[in-house]
Structure 1
Amino acid sequence: MTRSAKAGRLFGDHFLSRLAAEEQAIVANVRRLAKEVLGPNAAAVAQQDVFAWETFRLLAKEGVIGTAFPRESGGTDARQVLRIRIVEELGRVCSASASIVTGADLSCRAIVAGASDELKTELLPGLCRGEIQAAFALSEPGAGSDVRGLATVIRREGDRYLIDGEKKFITRGTTADWFVVVGRAEHDPDCFIAVLVPRNASGFMIGPEVGKLGWAGVPISSLEFRNVATPVANRLGQEGDGFNLAQDALVRARIGHAAMALGRAIGAVEIATAYMADRKLFGKSLGEHQGAQWMLAEMVTRIEASRALVQLAAEKYDGADPDAGIFASMAKLQATDLGMKVVTDALQLTGGRGYLQDFPLERFFRDAKLNQIGEGSSEVHKTVIGRDAVRRARDLERHPCLKFESLVDY
C-alpha cells in the first residue's frame, strides 16, 4: 500500500461526535479545502506578508467565513464548539487561513451583536459573502488586552460622534471597508462607546503595513483618528456597551487562538512523526528510539488534554456560562504555551531538516509565537486567572481537612 492510500490520523475525531450532522459536514468540507488547496499553498502564502486574497475569497465562497454570521444574513451562525473544530483544521496547515476565519469573527462580532437592524441589513450580508471587510480597532500604543486602559476619546456632537486617538496592531487595517472603533466617552471616562467608521471618513488615516516575524498573509497596520466624524446611527449598542462588546469579541478570539495553536501543534506532531518513520539513526528508525518516543508521548498526551479544555471553554461560551471568560483565558494560556513548546520540540526532532525554510516546521515555529501574544499575552491571562481564583477562594466552602479558625494560628 502506498502512503497516499493510507487513511486515518494520529489524533482522533472524538469531538466530532458531539456535533450535528450539518456541523460535521462543514468540518469535512474544511478538511477537504485544507488537504486540496490550503495546505499545498500554505508555503507560498507565507512568502510575503500581504493579505491572502485568494485564501480569503475561497473561504468566503465555501461558506467558512459565513460561520461567524447569523442565518438571516446568509451565514450559518456556528456554535463555538463547531468553530474550534474549523480553526483547528485550518491551523493544522496554514496560520493565515485560520487567522482569516478567526479575524472575521473578531472584526464583525460587535456588529452582529450591537448594530441597528438597518446597519445589519446593510453590512452583514456583504461581510458574510466576503464582498466587504471590517476591522476591529481596539489595541492602542498604550493599551491592548486591558480595555479599560484605552485613551481614544469619543464625544457626541449633535447627531454625530467625533473620534480622536490612535490604534495599533490592527489586522485588516489596509483592507477593511469598515472599522469597529472602541473608545472612552469624553463626558465620562468610565463609559465606553463602540462605533462604526467607514474607510473614507475625513481625518481617518491608515498607516503602512508593518513587517512581522510570522503570520504572513494577514498584515497589520496602525490607525489615526483626528476629529473623525461618524453618525450616531453607527453606534454599536448603547453608550456604555462598548466594553462588553469588546470583551465578548475578545473571549471568542481567545478561544479561537487556542484552537489555532492546537491545530498547529497537531500538524507539527504529524510532520515530526512522519520524519521519525523515515529517518534512520544507529541502525533503526528515529521513532524506535526511546528518547524520541518519550518526547512524542508528552506531546500527544498534552495536546489531547488541551483539546478537552478548549472544548470545555467553547461549551461554556455556547451555554452563556458566566465562567466562559475565565475558561477562555485558561484555554488560551494553556493551548498557546503548549503550541509553542510542541512546535519547538517537533522541530528539534527533525533536526537540520526542520530548520530549513522549505520544510513546514520552520514556518510553524515562527507562527506559533504570536498565539502567545495576541488577544492577551500568556502573562496577562495568568494574572486574570490567578486574580479570579483568589477572589473566589474568599467565599468558597471550607476544605473539610481544615480547622475553622484562622489558618495563621496553625
Structure 2
Amino acid sequence: MTANACAGRLFGDHFLSRLNVDEQAMVANVRRLARDALGPRAAEVAQRDVFAWDNFRLLAREGVIGTAFPREYGGTDARQVLRIRIIEELGRVCSASASLVTGADLSCRAIVAGASDDNKARLLPALCRGDIQAAFALTEPGAGSDVRGLSTTIRREGDDYVINGRKKFITRGTTADWFMVVGRAAHDPSCFIAVLVPRDAAGFAISPEVGKLGWAGVPISSLQFKDVRAQVSDRLGAEGDGFDLAQDALIRARMGHASMALGRAIGAVEIAAAYMVDRKLFGKSLGEHQGAQWMVADMVTQLEAARALVHLAAEKYDSGDPDAGIFASMAKLQATDLGMKVVTDALQLTGGRGYLQDFPLERFFRDAKLNQIGEGSSEVHKTVIGRDAIRRVRTLERHPCLKFESLENY
C-alpha cells in the first residue's frame, strides 16, 4: 500500500457509515482503481473521443458495472446510496469512467425492469460481464427531456413492431449490440412503447461518431429507423409502459449526473488546494491569503451540502418514496450547477497553470458543462421543481401566520 493510500482526504467519508460492510468494500475497491489505474490514464483517455474500452473492461471485471444488475444474473443489485458513492469516486478523477457506470445503468435499466424472462436470461448476464452493450435510444432532434414530445412511431404488425423515426445524442451508439428504443404507438399517440432493437436490424442506421467539447471516451451518435422491425416478444413491459420505464432510468441517471459533478468538483478543490500550498505569492503561500481561503470555504461548504441532498435523493429512491423523482431533479440541479461553478473557481485559483492541457483542471472544466445539460438541463429541472412546489401549495396546510382568506385582501 502506498503512502498516498494511507493519507486522509479533504472531503470526509461520513456518508460511508450509511453503507454495510460489503458496500464499503466496493467503494474502497473503486477508490483503489481510481488511484492506481483510472486516474493516471485519465488524461490519455481524454485525448481521443473513442470508447474507453480498457476502462470499461476493467470496471466490468471488477464488478463495478455489475452494480446495476440483479444478483440472479451476476450483478449485485446495488442500492442507489452505494452507486452515488461509486460514481463520485470515479468522477473525482475521470469523467469517462464515471459515465461508463452511469451509462450501463441508463442503457440497461429498462431491460432489468421490463424485459421478458427469456430476454433477461439471454442478455443480462452478458451485459453485466461487459461482453455486450446496450444503448438508451430516447432523445430526438425535437424532444429530449420532454419525453411526451417524442415523434418516433412504433406500429404493431402481427408479431412485429415497425419503427420509424430518428434519435440523436445517443451514447454507445457505435458500440451497442442492443438498443432500448422508446416511441409513440402509431394507433394511440398517448401510448408509449419501449422495445429492444438489435444492431443488425434491417433499416436501422447508425451515424459516425460526433465530436464534442468534453467527455472524451464516451462518444455519441445519431440513429435512423426506417421501417425497422422488432419482435413483439422484445417489448419491454406492456404497451404503454414505455414512459414509466424511461422515467425510472432517467431518475437514476440524474442522480448519476449529480454524483459525477460532485466527484469532479471534489477533485478540483483537492487539486486547487494542493496548488495553493505550493504556490508562493507576495512572500507567503497562496493558501495563506484570506481571499483564497474564503473561496475554498465556500466551495467545501456548498459541496458538502450538495452531497447531503444527493444522498437524500438516493435514499428516497431506494425506499420507493414517490418524491424520489423531484428530489433527483433537485439533486441534479444543485450539484451540476455547483459543480460547474466550483471547477471554474478552482481553475481561477490555479491561474495560468490551470489553463494548460497537461494540468487536470483544463479537462475538468470542459467536462463539467455537460452535467448541466444531460438528462434534462438545469432550466428544465427548475421548471419541474417549481411547478411541483406550486401544485403542492394548493393542497397543503396553510401557514399558521396567515389569515384564512384570500391573500389579495391583505
| Short-chain TM bin | over 0.9
Name the SS for the 2:14 alignment partner.
coil
Please give the TM-score of this superposition, normalised by the length of structure 1: 0.99
**How many pairs align?**
409
- 1:6-405 equivalences in 2 (<5 Å): 7-405=7-405
C-alpha distance in 1 between matches for 2:21 and 2:297: 32
Q: Secondary structure at the match of 1:87?
A: helix
- Cα deviation for residue 3 of structure 1 reads 7.6
Aligned counterparts of 2:394 and 2:4: Cα–Cα separation in 1: 58
What TM-score do the two structures reach when normalised by structure 2? Answer: 0.99
Structure 1: which amino acid aligns with 2:352? G
CA offsets 1:186-216 (integer angstroms, 9 cap, x no match): 0000000000000000000000100000000
Q: 1:360 to 1:227 in 2, by over 3 A?
A: same
Shift of 1:32: 0.3
How far the C-alpha of 1:221 sits from its partner, in A, is 0.3
SS of corresponding position for 1:40: coil
Structure 2 spans left out of the alignment, 5+ residues: none
Question: Deviation of residue 399 (structure 1)?
Answer: 0.3
Structure 1: how far apart are the matches of 2:162 and 2:104? 26
> Deviation of residue 57 (structure 1)?
0.3
Return the alpha-carbon distance in structure 2 between the equivalents of residues 406 and 141 of structure 1: 45
Identity, in percent, stands at: 84
Query: Structure 1, residues 105-151: CA drift from partner, whole Å, max 9, x if none?
Result: 00000000000000000000000000000000000000001000000
Deviations 1:349-407 (A, max 9, x none): 00000000000000000000000000000000000000000000001101000000110
Distance in 2 (CA, whole Å) between partners of 1:310 and 1:27 is: 17
- The unaligned stretches of length 5 or more in structure 1 are none
Tell me, in whole angstroms, the C-alpha distance in 2 between the residues paired with 1:255 and 1:47: 27
SS in 1 for 2:39: helix
Shift of 1:265: 0.4
Q: Distance in 2 between matches of 1:329 and 1:289?
A: 37
- Report the AA paired with residue 319 of structure 1: S
Distance 1:399 1:4 in 2: 53
Counterpart CA distance in 2 for 1:35 and 1:373 is: 28
Letter in 2 for 1:37: A
Give the Å deviation of 1:100: 0.2
Q: 3-state DSSP class of the match of 1:218?
A: coil
- Residue identity in the other structure for 1:389: A
Greater than 2 Å deviation, 4+ residue runs: 2-6
1:6 Cα deviation after fit = 6.3
Partners of 1:108 and 1:405 lie apart in 2 by 51
Residue type at the aligned position of 1:192 = F
- Structure 2: how far apart are the matches of 1:299 and 1:406? 42
SS at match of 2:40: helix
> 1:290-347 CA deviation, whole Å, 9 max, x = no partner?
0000000000000000000000000000001000000000000000000000000000
The amino acid that maps onto 1:158 is: G
